[in-house]
A and B are shown apart, each in its own frame.
Chain A
Amino acid sequence: MGYLARQLGGRTDPAPDAGWEEPPSRKGFFTDTSICIGCKACEVACKEWNALPLDGLELSGNSYDNTGGLGASTWRHVAFVEQSQDRIEAARESGRRLVDLGMPSVGAPSAAPGGSLPDRAGSPQEGAGGGQNLPKNGMPAGYGTLPAPPEDHGPSLGDLLTEKDAVENGAHGTTVDGTPMVGPLPEFRWLMASDVCKHCTHAGCLDVCPTGALFRSEHGTVVVQADICNGCGYCVGACPFGVIERRTDSAASVRADGHVPNVGVAQKCTLCYDRLQHDQRPACAQTCPTTSIRFGEREEMVAAARERVVQLHEQGFTEARLYGANEDDGVGGTGSVFLLLDEPEVYGLPPDPVCATSKLAEMFRMAGWAGTGLLAAAAAAFLGGRR
C-alpha cells in the first residue's frame, strides 16, 4: 500500500507513517477486564500524575460508577455493570456465536506470527458428555467447582450425585472445545472495566486537527500539545470512541493556587508520554494491583491478550473476547487492547468503530461534484439571461 493510502486506513505502523525515523516499538495497553476488581486506583493514579482538575462530584446511581465516562479531565474510567443470569447467558451465547462465525484470530490466522495457537478452534468435540476430557491443565471448566467430598459437613450425597451427573451429561453446557462445564451460571456477576484512550492506528482526532496540536508520538501514541490547541472542538466529534473532550471552565482546580490549566483546550490520555520518555510505565499500569492493566510493546500486548482469551475459553468463559486487536478493523487496530466479557456496547464501547477520515476521499469527491454543479448552475443562470 502506498504512503498516502496508508495514512487513512488499513494496516500500518503509525509512527513511521507520521515521519518518525527508526522509532521505538509501538506501545500500548492490554486491559484484561476479567481480573479487574474495580478499585479505581488507575483513575486516581492518572488524576494524580497528570494533575487533572476535578470535573464534578456527584453520585450517579449507576452501580459504583460515579465517574461517568472518559472526558477532558478523566483519562481512565472504570465501568461497572451488574448482570443477572440471563445476561450472562446472553453474553456467553454471543461469545459462542463469535467462535462459530470463525472470527479471525488476532492478526488473521494465516499471518499469525509464531502460530502459537495450533488449530485449537478446529479440534473435534471428542467425547463430549463423557466427563473424562478435562482441559490440558486438568482443571474443570466453568464457574463452579466439583462438589467437595462429604467430610466436615460437606454437601449431601444427593447433591453430589446430581452435580456429578450434570457434569457427566454436559447439563451445564460445554466449553468451545467440548469440555463439560462444572456448576451452573451464577445468578449475578459484576463487570468492571477500565476504559482509556484507544490510541488508534488511524486516529480520527489526529487526522482532523487543523492546528497540528494533536500529534503521533514516536511510541505510536496520540498526544495533544495543549499550548498549540486552539479549542476548535473538531477532534471531539471525530473520535469514534468518545474519548477526547474540550475542557470547560466548570472544572474545579485541585491545586493550591486555584488555577485550572488548559481550559478551552482538547484533552485526553497521553499514554503518559512524559513517563515513557524516562522508561517508566504509565501511572495507571504502574498502580494496577491485579495487573488488569498491562503496558508494553503493542505486539506483546496483543499476544498476551490472545493467550488470555484462549485460557478463558478453555476454562469455559466463552463470553471472553478481544476488542481492538484486529488491525483490519475500521480504525486499523487500537493501541489499547481490551479483553471484554460481553458485547462492547455493554461497556459503552462502539461495536464497529470507523475512523471517519477513512471515507475522506469519497467525501471530498462528492463535495467536488457538488461544487462543480454550483458553478455550472451559476453559469447557466447568467448565460441563460443572455439568450
Chain B
Amino acid sequence: MTTSPFDSYRPPEEGRRRRRRSGVRGAVSGAVSDAAQGVADRAGRGTSWLNRDGGGRREAPAVPDAEFSSYYGRGVIKPVPWDYKIPAYLFVGGVAAGSGLIATGAAATGRELLRRNSRLTAMAGVAVSGAFLVADLGRPERFLNMMRTVKLTSPMSVGTWILSGFAAFSGVTTATEVARLVPHPEHGPLGVIARLLDAVDAPAAVGQAFFAPPLAAYTAVLLSDTVAPVWFESRRELPFVFVGSAALASSGVQMVLTPTSQTGPVRRFALLGVATELVAMHRLEEHLEELELDEPVRTGEAGAKLRLAKVLTIAGGLGTLLAGRSRAVAVASGLALAGASALTRFGMVEAGIESAKDPRFTVGPQKRRLEERRAAGTVHDSTVTVR
C-alpha cells in the first residue's frame, strides 16, 4: 500500500467489493488519513493522466475503512494453477466412486441392470477422471513420475494410488460385464477367460467398494491441504460435502440410466446424499462466516454456482422423494442431482481460487487468529518476534 500523497488523487475503485465487519481494525492502520480521503473526494471520479489506469489489481489508497495493509493489493499467496479440468475431475471422480458403491450393492442384491450400468459408469468415470488429471499437468508426459513414489504427506500421491486401485478393480468388474454382454464360445481361450472373470467377480466387486469411499473423500483433503483460505478453513466440513456430492451425483446418473424398478436403493442413496450435502454445506458456510471468509462462497460466479447447486439439490431431492417411481421424474431429478454435484465442485474450486487471489482473505483471518491468540496470552508461536 502506498501512501504517497500523489496517490491520493486516485479515485476509489469502482465496483469494489463491500467490506464486512471490521475485524482487526486498530491492529494496523489501513493507510489513509482523512485529509487524503477529502482530496480523493474532491478529485472525483474523472479520468485524467493521473488515474487513467485507475483500478486494475491495485488497491486504491482512498479506502476509508481498510482493515489492513497489503502490498499494492497483490495476493499474498498464489492460487493453484488449475483450470476447469480439476473440478470436472472432482465431479466425474465422485460419479465413479458412488457408482462403484452402487455397483457392488446391486451385485449383492441381484439387480442386474443396475449392476451393469453402474459398473460401466464407474469404469467410464475413472477413465475420464484419469484423463482430466493427466491433461491438467504442466508436463502430462511425466504423469508416471507420480507412480514412482508413495508419499503419505501428499494427498495427491495418496489419491493417485486410491484412483489406481479403484481403476484396477473397476477394470475387472467391467471386463466381467463385457464378457456377459458379448457372446463368446463356452470353450477355448475366450471361454476360460470368461470363467476366470466370473470367479474373480465377487472379490473385484468388494475391492471396488473398498476403494470407492476413499476416492470420494480424499478429494476434500486434496483441496484442504493447501493455503487457499476457503479450502483450508473448511477442512472439517469439506469431506462431508464431497461424499454427499458423490452420492447424489452417482445416484442421479443411475436414475437417468436405469429403469425405476431397479433404482429403489439408488433413490434412498440419493436422498441420504442430498441430506448430507445440504447439512454439510450449511455448516461449511456457517464456519466460513465465523471466520469472515464466506464472501467467496456467497458472491461472484462461485457463489452463483453454489446457490444454483443448492436449488438443484433440493429440487432433485424432492423429485426423488415424492415421485421417484415415475420414470420421467426420475430422469429429471437424476439430471438435477448430477448437475447440482457438478456445480458444487466447480463452485468450491472457484471459491478457493478466488480466496487465494485476494490478500484480504489471507491476511484478515490470519491477523484475527493472531489477535485472538495474543488476547489469550499466547505469544510463543508468533512468526514475528522482537528482541
Contacts and interface: CB of A to CB of B under 8 A. Distances in A.
A231 B269 contact: no
A352 B71 contact: no
What are the nearest 5 A-B pairs in CB distance? A231-B138, A264-B138, A348-B71, A371-B213, A237-B80
B91 interface: no
Given A230-B142, A344-B384, 11 more contacts: A101-B379, A103-B379, A105-B386, A208-B153, A208-B225, A211-B142, A241-B77, A323-B383, A345-B71, A375-B101, A385-B265
B281 interface: no
B154 interface: yes
A353 B243 CA distance: 29
B237 to A, nearest CB: 8
Interface residues of A, number: 117
Given A101-B379, A212-B149, A309-B387, A83 B3 contact: yes
10 contacts: A81-B71, A86-B3, A86-B29, A94-B28, A230-B139, A343-B69, A350-B363, A373-B240, A373-B243, A377-B247
A52 interface: no
Interface stretch (A19-27, A270-278, A357-365): A357-365
Contact of A242 (B76, B136, B218): B76
Interface in A88-105: 90, 94-95, 98-99, 101-105
Interface in B294-312: none
B370 A120 contact: no
Contacts, number: 352
Given A351-B366, A377-B247, A98 B386 contact: yes
Contacts of B156: 208, 210, 232, 234
A265 B382 contact: no
A265 B138 contact: yes
Contacts of B386: 95, 98-99, 103, 105, 309, 313, 320-322
A372 B227 contact: no
Interface stretch (A39-47, A151-159, A326-334): A326-334
Contacts of B14: none
B383 A326 contact: yes
A69 interface: yes
Contact of A105 (B76, B232, B387): B387
Contacts of B72: 60, 62, 65, 348
Contacts of B29: 86-87, 90
Given A232-B138, A346-B71, A385-B265, A246 B2 contact: no
B216 interface: yes
A168 B221 CA distance: 61
A354 to B, nearest CB: 8
B142 A229 contact: yes
Contact of B387 (A60, A99, A240, A265): A99
Contacts of A245: 78, 81
B216 A322 contact: no
Given A87-B3, A377-B273, A385-B109, A212 B151 contact: yes
Contacts of A81: 1-2, 71
A230 B137 CA distance: 6
A382 interface: yes
Contacts of B266: 381
Contacts of B325: none
Interface string B193-227: 00000000000000001001110111011001111
Given A87-B29, A360-B225, A351 B71 contact: no
Contacts of B225: 208, 238, 356-357, 359-360, 363
Given A63-B2, A87-B31, A101-B374, A345 B69 contact: yes
B385 A104 contact: yes
A59 to B, nearest CB: 10
B145 A230 contact: yes
Interface string B70-101: 11101111111110000000000000011001
Interface in A367-387: 367-375, 377-382, 384-386
A280 B105 CA distance: 64
A68 to B, nearest CB: 7
A385 B271 CA distance: 14
A139 interface: no
Interface centre among A204, A326, A363, A373 (most CB of B within 10 A): A363
Nearest to A226: B139
A101 to B, nearest CB: 5
Interface in B1-18: 1-5
A351 B367 contact: yes
A335 B217 CA distance: 35
A370 B108 contact: no
Nearest to B268: A381
A284 interface: no
B53 A363 contact: no
B281 to A, nearest CB: 13
Contact of B220 (A63, A232, A370): A370
A325 B142 CA distance: 37
B242 interface: yes
Contacts of B381: 326, 328-330
A74 to B, nearest CB: 12
A84 interface: yes
B216 A371 contact: yes
B217 A368 contact: yes
B109 A382 contact: yes
B342 interface: no
A23 to B, nearest CB: 20
A99 B272 CA distance: 54
B243 A370 contact: yes
A230 B227 contact: no
Contacts of A330: 381, 383
A317 B27 CA distance: 19
Interface string B245-268: 011000000000000000011101
Nearest to A83: B3
A371 B214 contact: yes
B359 interface: yes
Contact of A364 (B33, B70, B221, B268): B221
A211 B276 contact: no
Nearest to A305: B385
A231 B139 contact: yes
A133 to B, nearest CB: 19
Contact of A209 (B154, B217, B218): B154
A96 to B, nearest CB: 9
Interface centre among A61, A231, A356, A378 (most CB of B within 10 A): A378
A378 B105 contact: yes
B130 interface: no
A222 interface: no
A36 interface: no
Contact of A356 (B33, B69, B106, B224): B224
Contacts of A266: 138
A236 B80 contact: yes
B70 A375 contact: no
